Amino acid sequence: MSQTERTPTLILGGGLMGLAIAHQLARRGMAVRVISRKRREAAGFVAAGMLAPHAEGLSGALLQLGQTSLELIPRWVGQIEVDSGLSCGLRACGIVVPFRSDGERTQYPTARYGLELNRVELEQELPGIGPSWSSGLLFEQDGQIDNRRQLMRALERACVSLGVQFLEGSHVKDIQRDTFGALSGVVMKSAEGDECLLACQQAVLACGAWSHQLIPELNVFPVKGQMLSLQGPRETLKRVIFGPGTYMVPREDGLVVVGATSERHAGFEEGLTPDGQKQLQAGLESLLPAAAGWPPMERWWGFRPCTPDEAPLLGESPIPRLWLACGHHRNGVLLAAITAQITAEALSGINTRQDCLDEFRWDRFTKAHP
């Protein structure tokens, strides 16, 4: 038995990325230990769950990564559901992007992947859509997953069923290096306040917006987002509406998730704000006026892990044997499947997607924050 097999691989962060990677490593027969300060504050619990590389208007290498992940998601979800016995809430519902003019629609970066809609067709897809929207694009290949209520819970149970160990309420304070500068362990503070050194041969940094606090060289910073949910009539809204600045994601039971503000200068400031909630209200009233009368169910906020180009950091870190899976910004749920596969393969000694690891290296831009 090798040293890697005897010593658990540490996953630093118990959010969506951490759980997805832990699950894939455990499926490969590896021992895995997840260190999580507070999983409920992770971006995976607060995101809307859109699977939208085309509706988001992604481009270049990020679009390719998103398309690849979108293709992987049904099989990935199937694995999680088999291992957990729970549904993940995956829906291939399609996403509509509305526009105020045909010119705006034509100029959209991913227009060639969508079906053009005129006003009449837009109303057929989205009954009750606001009068200011004259055309749209339907991306039938895009969809959603109920990450907040189903996916995260299923991933947790799938990990447990495969023997993944959890150190919940623990906080990684420091990364330890050997005489050659490579990872040798992490200093952890437990929920009881005790500090200890966990030796390890390899680890994955999946701390989301907090990754910079452990490795200052990483250009990852928080972008706060506020969201809310409404209880609409069942089946009233069948497609996701992806409007400029506001989106509406309908679940099967009629719950509609509305998001999200994008507050780049808020740092880690917690809490809802009147301005943020007014922005969401104005956005949903513009997209679907009738929704303004639907009862609100919940309001929350979270912190997206962003990078200067809004693309993730994958592959090797500045510290040998410490791997990166952070900085996914708005596309964490979409990119979880491909991130988990790439990272698990790399840690298992398989290297089938070196192009992705090269494209999303941590040092592709300067250290200065925007």
Q: How confident is the model at residue 368 (pLDDT cuts 50, 70, 90)?
A: very low
Query: CA gyration radius for the chain?
Result: 21
Q: What is the per-residue DSSP string for 133-179?
A: --EEEEETT-EEE-IIIIIHHHHHHHHHHTT-EEEET-EEEEEEE-T
Say if domain 91-143+221-306 classifies as CATH 3.40.190.10. no
Other beta carbons within 10 Å of 160: 14
For 185, residues 6+ apart whose C-beta sits below 8 A from its C-beta are 176, 197, 198, 199, 200
Query: Tokens 């090797």 — which residue?
Result: 316
Mean pLDDT along residues 105-112: 98
Read off the pLDDT of residues 289-318 as tens digits, 9 standing for 90 and up: 999 999 999 999 999 999 999 999 999 999
Q: What is the per-residue DSSP string for 273-289?
A: -HHHHHHHHHHHHHH-G
How far, rounded to the nearest angstrom, does the alpha carbon of residue 229 sit from its chain's CA centroid?
Answer: 18
Strand order in the sheet with 50-51: 50-51, 143-145, 90-91
Looking at the chain, the domain(s) classified CATH 3.50.50.60 span: 3-86+148-218+309-359
Torsions phi, psi of 22, nearest 5? -60, -45
Amino acid at 56: E
Write the Ramachandran bin of 94: left for phi over 0, alpha for psi from -120 to 50, otherwise beta: left
Measured between alpha carbons, how far is 205 from 14 in angstroms, rounded to an integer?
10
* pLDDT at site 366: 66
Write the Ramachandran bin of 140: left for phi over 0, alpha for psi from -120 to 50, otherwise beta: alpha
Read off the pLDDT of residues 163-215 as tens digits, 9 standing for 90 and up: 999 998 898 999 999 999 999 999 999 888 889 999 999 999 999 999 999 99
Task: Determine if the peptide bond prior to 48 is cis (ω within 30°).
Answer: no
Q: How confident is the model at residue 5 (pLDDT cuts 50, 70, 90)?
A: very low
Looking at the chain, the domain(s) classified CATH 3.30.9.10 span: 91-143+221-306
Torsions phi, psi of 233, nearest 5? -60, 140
Measured between alpha carbons, how far is 52 from 66 in angstroms, rounded to an integer?
8
CB 20 within 8 A of CB 84: no
Measured between alpha carbons, how far is 250 from 238 in angstroms, rounded to an integer?
7
The pair of three-digit structure tokens given for residue 230, joined into one six-digit string: 């409404």
Mean pLDDT along residues 43-54: 87
CB 303 within 8 A of CB 316: no
Q: How far is CA 358 from CA 61, 208, 314, 351, in A?
A: 11, 20, 8, 12
- Asked if the model's pLDDT at residue 262 lies above 60, the reply is yes
Pairing between β-strand 143-145 and β-strand 50-51 as defined by DSSP bridges: antiparallel
Query: Tokens 């909630």 — which residue?
Result: 277
CATH class of the 3-86+148-218+309-359 domain in this structure: alpha beta
Q: How confident is the model at residue 61 (pLDDT cuts 50, 70, 90)?
A: very high
Q: How confident is the model at residue 3 (pLDDT cuts 50, 70, 90)?
A: very low
Measured between alpha carbons, how far is 54 from 137 in angstroms, rounded to an integer?
10
CB 330 within 8 A of CB 310: yes
Measured between alpha carbons, how far is 351 from 353 in angstroms, rounded to an integer?
6
Helix (H, G, I), strand (E, B) or coil at 250: strand
- Asked if the model's pLDDT at residue 24 lies above 90, the reply is yes
* pLDDT at site 42: 62
Helix (H, G, I), strand (E, B) or coil at 257: strand
Other beta carbons within 10 Å of 189: 16
Write the Ramachandran bin of 128: left for phi over 0, alpha for psi from -120 to 50, otherwise beta: left
